Structures are given as structure tokens and as C-alpha cells.
Chains A and B, each alone.
Chain A
Amino acid sequence: MDARENKTQVVINMKGDRKYIWIFLLPTAAFLSIFLYYPFFKSLYFSFYRTKGFFDKKFIGWDNYDRLISDKLLGAATLHTLEIMLYVLVFQVGIALVLAVMVDNISKFKSFFRAVFFFPVVISGTAISLLFVLFYNYNFGLLNNVMVNLGLEKVLWLSETNALKAIAVPTVWHYVGFYFVLFVTAMSKIPEDYYDAAKLEGITGFKKMIKLTIPLILSDIKVVITLAITGTMKVFDFVWVISRAQNGTDVLGTYMYKKAMVDQNFGYGSTVAIYMVILGVVIALLANRLLKSEEITY
């Protein structure tokens, strides 16, 4: 059978498969359209309206976008989001990588550590936030109790200069385990031959990690970074519960919620949502461009 014939055969087969492809894609497509694309376009529609509660709306053209540009609170919220993003990229991805390398190098208790590090991921963000409310509370929080017992002054953990960093701690901690598991899985896919070769060359320890392991899982690191960036755009629960988005901790998620839900100004809330989508896409694209490198195949 020559090659061309073979190809036609494949195309014909594909045609037969196509309807099955459609059938299997349809539920997800419908689900996505109902819960993602429809709300998105509805938000776009609402962003041109001044709304009053749920029942009253009036077309106002680009007014909401004008307000968006001159909104100082939104600017601050954007900066706070970017700051958290920085912490997440450095610490969340960094710690996950370090833990993964360490766990990859031990022979016993691997699955134990995997389970332990993954554990926070399954707890809801709100529950973790409540926990940290009790850690940080000025009057009877755990940290201040420890300070007092050590004979030190009480610290206002959620002060204007500290609050965002204090919130970044549980935010980072919550998802370290998730990225850790991704890294460990990626590392376990590296063929043993590479390590054997390295051993023969006498490359071990730190050098092995820098020269061998990390370059080989670079594509996974890229995925993780993209996930981390898009994940930070969604931060809401930690900020809302721990500091009520006060003291310089207002992020985009909480700002949008406040505008839309608390103020019941769905028009402007939708405009902020559109802004978030655009910002998120731009940052993700930017990150992808910066991290561009050739794919590695084993």
C-alpha cells in the first residue's frame, strides 16, 4: 500500500469519527457556553449599562469604561493583585520545586510526603482563611499570644504595611502542594538512563538538580507558572475573610465583588470583570512569550 492511499484511508476514517468527536465534545461545549461564554458576553453587555439593583438599568455607552480608567481604587487593586502574583511565583512555585526535588531524592516515605504536602489543597480556602484570622487576630490571636508569652510586644499583623504579605502566606501555602505534585509527577517521568549516565559522569546533588532535573521538566514549570498566574487573578476568599479587603489588600476579585454584589452596581462590576479577563489574558500571553523554549522529548 503506498503512502498516499494510506493517507486517504485515514481521512475517511476521520470522517467517520467526526460525529463521535462532536457527540463527545457537545456536553462540554454546552456546559462551557452556558456557564462561561454566556455569562462573559452578558457581562460585556452589562458593562455598557448603569444598573440600579437588579431591576433597573440604563444604557450609558462608554461611561463605565471612562470610570475604569480614572478609578484609583481599581489601580490599587491591580497593584495588589500583581504583588500577590509575585509572591506566588517566587514562593509558591519555588517552594513546590524545592520540595519536589527533595522528595524525588529520597527513597522511603515518598507517598507519605506527597499526601502531607498535598493536604492543604483539599481544604477550602475559606476554612484556611478562618484559621489565619485566628492566627493573626490582634487581641487574642495565636501569634500574639506566643509573642506575649515570650515577653514581646503585641504586633498588629494586619497593619497597612503588613496585611497583604500576611494574606500572601496562606495563599502561597494553600496551593504549594498542588504544584509540588505536578513537579514530582514530571520528575518521575524522566527516564532513569539520564541519571545513570550522570552518575557515571560523577554528577550528583545540587548540580544534578540544576543541570539535569530542572531543564528536563522545564515545560512543566512553564505550565505551573501559567497556572499560578491565572490562579492569582482569582484570589478572593483569603482577602475577603482575613482582612475584608481593607488596609491595602483589595485585589481585583474582591473589588469586583464589592462593586457588583455589595454596591449592587452590576454595570460597573461587569466592567471590572471584563478588565480582569483582558488583564489576565495579557499577562498569561506575556508569560508564555517570555518562557518560550524548545520542547524536550525524552
Chain B
Amino acid sequence: MKKSSLLLLSMLVVFTMFLAACGSKTEDKNAAPETPKTETETPKETEAPKKDVSLRVFSTFGGTDSAREAFQAALDEFTAKNPNVKINNDTMSANDDGFRTKVNTDMTSGNEPDLLFYFVGADAQGFVDAGKVVPLNDILDANADWKAGFAPAALENTRQKDGNIYAAPLTGFYEGLFVNKKIFADNNLELPTDWDKMKTAVQTLSKKGIIPLAAPFDQSHYVIEHFILSAAGDKGHNAGLADGIDPNWEKGYAAMKELYDLGAFPKDAATIDLSMASNYFGEGKAAMILEGSWAMGNWKDAAVIDNTTVLPFPAMPGGVGTGKDVIGGFGSGFYLSKSTFDNADKKDTAIELLKNMTSPAVIEKIAIANGGTPAAAGVEIKGANQTATDGFAMAANATSVNNPIDTMVSPETFSTLRAGVQSVVTGKKAPADVLKEAKAIEDANKK
């Protein structure tokens, strides 16, 4: 008996060693180990004379992202100048929520990337509170020219609840009502600058079999944001649901139903996703879409993109929005992880890379690629096309620029709001009930 248990134990040890070996090897690939504990074949990394550093940068500049190449080029430029640095450009598409899970798992499991490009606000609150990333305030102050490179408003926009800046912004974004001018002109319609024109356009277009507003019910982020912003104004929109329900939110949901009843949404709005909706607009099958500045890069058809302009979502009767309120801001930036900051071998290189990636030159290149607003001071870009230029003008003339609702409420609350869109427009639930449901979830989340 004893013998066999001893054998068992030794097998277990062997097996765990095997596992550990596996573990550290994958870490080598992904994370660049903080300190290689196990004796694997990586002596180079521990005591290299020239101090080879390998850094992992995680971002969403991958897949179909329009700034993917510009981002990679900026990284390549850095490694060309610093041959001792190896960068693992770890990306995941932002099309689905998967990358949020990836980021959060990495941050909790001790697999933090050295630099992380991610959202600010509610999304980041978890790992900020857990101390996984360092405040950049001191580093910014110590590097005056780096700090001076940022537009002050951009830097301010990434400030977390506790008053610290954790994320260095790259480009900002705006969301708006993208309109295919050609479809409007062909049908003798005026651009939807007010609610009545919007209703007329929806009615006319849906009768002709053109999708008026390409919007999905499930991924209805932009629909919710704009309808509520228009109904409740910037203050009501930004209040979230923490301190009670703003009665104007109901009007926002009621307006969705009003437009739905006029035939605004695609027939298959219930089951399409955002990229399919964007596809409808990009193919010229839809006249309007609520989207973000980053979406323009996906509309390749010249007949569409050259005829597209972007407007703020019109104010609705009875609402308190100005009709010039815009969703936008600098909702994301580069985080420097605490473990990298504490690692003397990597700290300086990582900060150097961070400074490089947020230098005005790089910011400008990325902004041109993705149509976002540059976070750098004094960088004026015309926009890659007329639509982008229109967008910058819209953001500049906005009466308020607001962060999206999902940064104000918990993820589960936002899911409830999203699920409410279909039930409200199809008449299954009253707007008030949906909001009550969401409020209950929000309260439960605060417990």
C-alpha cells in the first residue's frame, strides 16, 4: 500500500512538473515571463548582457480594425529603433464581447499584458480598483513634453472615478447618424435634421422597400444611447440609473416604437448583428445607421461612402435633448500594468514604448486610419474623406459630448436595456416596465 501511494505521489509530482513546464512555456510566448521560475530553456531572457526585453501589447487593433496596419507599423518602428526589444502584438477583434472577457481574465489571473489598450470608465473600474494598473499622473508629470503632446481635454476624459489618469488616450471617437445622402436625394427627402423630417423619411423609404435605419435589436448600443440622449438630454443620459429613473428615458424607448411602427428598422432586426447592419448600410441597402466613427472604414463602396454624411441624432418632441448632443470622447487608452512597472528590467522600456505609441506622430497616423479624433494637441486632420471631415465638424459643434451609456451602468443593466428594445418596439412590454427591470438589476449590482 505504502509503496503504491509513494508511486502515486511521485507520479503526481512528475505530472505537475510537466504541467508547470507547459505553463511557463506558453507564458513565454504570450506574456514574457516576469521572472522565469522554472528552469526551462530560456536562460537568454534572465541574464542577457544587452538586456533583451520582450513586451506584450494587447489591443483591439486586429482583425478588421481599420487602424490595424497603422498600429503594427508604429510598433515596428519602435522595434527597429530598439533592436533589443521584442513586441508581441496581441490583438482581438472588438466586434463581439469576447475581448472584454479576455482582458478581464488576463488581469485577474496574473497574465497582465505589459501595455493594455482598453476602455476607460466602468469597464476598467474592476482592475483599476484591484491595483492591476498604475496611475500615469506621476509619469506624465515627469515627462513634460510627453504630457504636452496630449490635448488636455483628451487626457481629462480618461480620468477614472478616483481622479487618477490610468490610460493614455490615442484617438477619440464620436457616434452619430450616418446618412446616405444619395438615397435621400433620389427620394426627394430632406436630411433628417429634425424629428418630423426623420419620420417622413422613415415612412417614405420603408414604403419603397429601402431600409430606413439599419439597426439591430440585440446589439442596440447606439440605438439606446442616441434615443435616450435625444429624449433625456446630456444630463439625463449621463445620470445613468443609479439614482432613480429619469422619466425622459421612457420617451426615448417610446420614440423607438414610434419609428418602428413607421417601418424604420430592417425586417430582420431581431436576429442580425451589428456588422450585418453595417453591411446593409455599406451596400447601399439602408439609408441611415447609428454608428461610431470607426465604422466608416468598413464602407468600401465609393457610391456609399462618398455620399455619406454624419448628423447628430435629431431632438424628439417632448424631449430635452438639443439635437446637437453627441456621443463621443476618448473612451479608451493605454494602461501600464503594475507588474511591468514593478519589474526593473521592463519598466523603462515599457514606458518608452507607451510614450512612443502616444506620440503626436503615431496618434496622427492612427487617427487618419480609423477616422477618430486625435488625442494629441495641435494635430488637425482633415479626415480621410468628406464623411470624416463632416464628423469632426459635428463633434466640434456639439452642445455636449457624452460618454456612452454603457460606461454609466453595470453590464447586466445594459443587457437588460438592450433586451428591452425588441420587447418595447413590438409592444410586448411598456417602456416603463423595461426601465423598472433595468433599475432593479442596477440596484442588485450595487449591493
Contact = CB atoms under 8 A, between A and B. Distances in A.
State whether these chains interact. Answer: yes
Contact of A246 (B217, B411, B444): B217
B217 A18 contact: no
Interface stretch (B33-41, B270-278, B333-341, B359-367): B270-278
B4 interface: yes
B268 A244 contact: no
Contacts of B412: 259, 263-265
Contacts of B273: 244
Interface residues of A, number: 37
Interface in A6-42: 18-19, 22-23, 26-27, 30
B407 interface: no
Contact of B107 (A19, A54, A133, A156): A54
Interface string A32-64: 000000000000000000101111101010000
Interface in B111-152: 125-127, 129-130
Contacts of B216: 244
A232 interface: no
Interface in B65-102: 97-98, 100-101
A58 B105 CA distance: 19
A138 B422 contact: no
Given A27-B15, A263-B411, A263-B415, A22 B7 contact: yes
A263 B415 CA distance: 7
A55 B108 contact: yes
Nearest to B123: A53
A204 interface: no
Nearest to B7: A19
A118 B8 CA distance: 41
Contacts of A158: 268, 270-271
Interface string A257-279: 01101111100000000000000
B108 A247 contact: no
B15 A26 contact: yes
B415 A262 contact: yes
Contacts of A242: 271
A23 B104 contact: no
A243 B273 CA distance: 8
A242 to B, nearest CB: 7
Contacts of A137: 268, 272, 276
Nearest to A51: B445
Contact of B12 (A26, A54, A258, A259): A26
Contacts of B276: 133, 137
Nearest to A158: B271
A156 B217 contact: no
Given A22-B4, A54-B104, A156 B130 contact: no
Chain B interface size band reads: 35 or more
A138 B11 CA distance: 58
Contacts of A265: 411-412, 445
Contact of A54 (B97, B105, B415): B105
A107 B282 CA distance: 53
Given A58-B447, A258-B415, A262-B415, A53 B270 contact: no
A163 interface: yes
Contact of B268 (A18, A23, A138): A138
B280 interface: yes
Contact of A243 (B19, B125, B127, B271): B271
A158 B411 CA distance: 27
Given A18-B4, A55-B108, A160 B270 contact: yes
Contacts of B266: 138-139
A60 B447 CA distance: 10
A298 B143 CA distance: 83
A262 B411 CA distance: 7
Contacts of B271: 158, 163, 242-244, 246-247
A261 B97 contact: yes
A54 B102 CA distance: 11
Given A22-B8, A160-B270, A53 B125 contact: yes
Interface string B390-404: 000000000000000
A240 to B, nearest CB: 9
A244 B218 contact: yes
A138 B412 CA distance: 30
> Which of the listed residues B97, B127, B211, B271 has the most CB atoms from chain A within 10 Å of its own CB?
B271
A156 B8 contact: no
Contacts of A140: 283, 285
B93 to A, nearest CB: 14
Contacts of A261: 97-98, 101
Given A50-B447, A55-B108, A264-B104, A244 B422 contact: no
Contacts of B11: 22-23, 26
Contacts of A139: 211, 266-268, 280, 285
Contacts of B130: 55
A267 to B, nearest CB: 11
B410 interface: yes
A221 B445 CA distance: 48
A22 B6 CA distance: 12
A242 B273 CA distance: 9
Nearest to B211: A139
Contacts of A160: 270
Interface string B204-226: 00000001000011110000000
The 6 closest A-B pairs by CB, nearest first: A263-B412, A53-B126, A138-B268, A55-B126, A243-B271, A158-B271
19 contacts: A18-B4, A23-B11, A30-B15, A50-B444, A50-B445, A52-B445, A53-B125, A53-B411, A54-B105, A54-B108, A56-B129, A156-B268, A158-B268, A158-B270, A243-B270, A246-B217, A246-B271, A261-B97, A264-B100
Given A139-B266, A247-B271, A262-B97, 15 more contacts: A19-B4, A19-B7, A26-B11, A26-B12, A30-B19, A50-B444, A53-B411, A54-B127, A137-B268, A139-B285, A160-B270, A244-B273, A245-B218, A263-B412, A264-B100
